[in-house]
Structure 1
Amino acid sequence: MTTELDPRQILEGVTTATITTILLKKGLRNVWIRGARPTREGQKRLVGRAFTLRFVPAREDLATPASWASPISTRAAIEAMPEDAIVVAGAMGITDAGIFGDILCARMAKRGVAGLVTDGVMRDAAGVLATGLPVWCDGAAAPPSVAGLTFVGWQEPIGCGGVAVFPDDLVVVDDDGAVIIPAALVEAVCAEAPEQERMEAWIMTEVDRGVPLPGLYPMNDETKARYEAAKAAGKA
């Protein structure tokens, strides 16, 4: 099935759980970013292209406050971020140095960045929340990034939470975390995801009315036939 809808319109109605199942069927097991959790309950599901940031371990001659004014800095990277991008920052899982604080997040929000995903942590936690920028991260820490990390570039392949992320991969984030869809698989996922959600919604109605799980989830041939009949009748 093909569709003329924008992938974002389709995937905004699809859970990350469903996406991981579809990608698993295509042989991709490692697409969920470890350590990236929503900073507040009920954050809206977001879909956007990845804008990558890369940190490496701190080296004393490079990871200094003076580096913040360098042409290769998080400040410069923020000014290159396009509207509606989802920033994915590979921070090596470091949890004792915050990669961004309230001022940088406020600037990202002002530029129309959709959200930030990282396997690291934030600083100025209350201020970051006040900016309204949706963030998925591994907590908060007071020290600045240079206390534990060196920023080395943007829009290049990175590792984040154990996942390989390439610029312009599609990112989907919700209450279950962040999932990466390789750019080459976006169309295939969009073709399958709405039907997967529709099928699972019907299965839930069957569970609600007391149908046992064997043969229902996953469906056997008899259940598939009932499901198709329900679709034809407009009841699924």
Structure 2
Amino acid sequence: MTVTPAQIDVLSKISTATITTVLLKKGLRNVWMRGTMPVRAGQKRLVGPAFTLRFVPAREDLATPASWASPISTRAAIEAMPEGCIVVADALGTTDAGIFGDILAARMVKRGVAGLVTDGVMRDIAGVLGTGLPIWCRGAAAPPSVAGMTFVGWQEPISCGGVAVFPDDIVVVDDDGAVLIPAALLDHVLAEAPEQERMEEWIMREVERGVPLPGLYPMNAETKARYEASRKDVTS
């Protein structure tokens, strides 16, 4: 799925917390990828289509350094990554083997990859940070991926942090982690999320004025009428 610059601009102003609320109202509870936290403070919110990578548990005849030269390898997958994608790697929650190091991260930067999300960890962390690639993960470990995992493919459905991720679903990442927007619900989120943000900003201003929470959050009918009136005043 192609995400337009205009859609990215809208979503870049919407928090992952708001997106989870909007999707919850549609019945989707499991969209936040567990363990995907920013590797450094201050990483800006990113939006992009998911480019998926899949690892399975290591098997000694397959998970070897020689596999790095295989046609089915992380190296080959990186060369297929389109500019602007957010790579989402199913690392099985493994925390004792890093999926990528600094060299692969540097190549991803050269490919124009927007960011990397994984429920696993990175290695060569100082070098990885030096590449400037925005990363959301569980931390760092020295051993290479083949010490704990076997890479088996890309651009297929995966599980990352307990969430089903399909290629070209939309990923939004910020300080709260990574959230998935199913491609079929992108238009709904684009329509509903900006209003949710405006409403919560108004509620926050009311809290700062000293208004009690009952009837304010969530809004009762009277509060909703006050909110709607304030919106008319802004737009008139």
* TM range, smaller chain: over 0.9
Question: What residue identity is the alignment partner of 2:49?
Answer: R
Aligned to 2:123: 123
Tell me if the contact between 1:18 and 1:196 (Cα under 8 Å) persists in the aligned partners: yes
5 Å matches for 1:212-231? 212-231=212-231
Aligned to 2:232: 232
Aligned to 2:161: 161
Aligned to 2:63: 63
Q: Distance in 2 between matches of 1:26 and 1:228?
A: 23
TM-score, scaled relative to structure 1: 0.97
Question: What SS class does the counterpart of residue 153 from structure 2 fall into?
Answer: strand
Question: What SS class does the counterpart of residue 100 from structure 2 fall into?
Answer: coil
Q: Distance in 1 between matches of 2:195 and 2:25?
A: 15
Deviation at 1:48, TM superposition (A): 0.2
Aligned to 1:190: 190
Is 1:91 matched up with 2:91? yes
Aligned to 1:53: 53
Aligned to 2:18: 18
Listed as ranges, the gaps of 5+ residues in structure 2 are: none
Q: Distance in 2 between matches of 1:231 and 1:185?
A: 26
Q: Deviations over 1:129-176 (max 9, x none)?
A: 000000000000000000000000000000010000000000000000
Runs (4 or more) in structure 1 with deviation over 2 Å come to: none
Deviation at 1:42, TM superposition (A): 1.0
Is 1:139 matched up with 2:145? no
Is 1:76 matched up with 2:81? no
How many residues align? The count is: 233
Deviation at 1:208, TM superposition (A): 0.2
Aligned to 2:106: 106
Q: Deviations over 1:45-73 (max 9, x none)?
A: 00000000000000000000000000000
Q: Deviations over 1:26-45 (max 9, x none)?
A: 01000000011000111000
Q: Distance in 1 between matches of 2:202 and 2:160?
A: 35
Q: Distance in 1 between matches of 2:130 and 2:139?
A: 16
Q: Deviations over 1:85-143 (max 9, x none)?
A: 00000000000000000000000001100000000000000100000000000000000
Q: Distance in 2 between matches of 1:25 and 1:33?
A: 18
Q: Structure 1 residues 4-13 or 45-54, which shifts more?
A: 4-13
Q: Distance in 2 between matches of 1:233 and 1:96?
A: 56
Listed as ranges, the gaps of 5+ residues in structure 1 are: none
Deviation at 1:5, TM superposition (A): 7.2
Q: Distance in 2 between matches of 1:178 and 1:113?
A: 16
Q: Structure 1 residues 106-115 or 5-14, which shifts more?
A: 5-14
Deviation at 1:6, TM superposition (A): 2.5
Question: What SS class does the counterpart of residue 117 from structure 1 fall into?
Answer: strand
Deviation at 1:218, TM superposition (A): 0.4
Tell me if the contact between 1:89 and 1:160 (Cα under 8 Å) persists in the aligned partners: yes
Q: Percent of aligned pairs with the same residue?
A: 80
Question: What SS class does the counterpart of residue 234 from structure 2 fall into?
Answer: coil
CA RMSD of aligned residues (A): 1.3
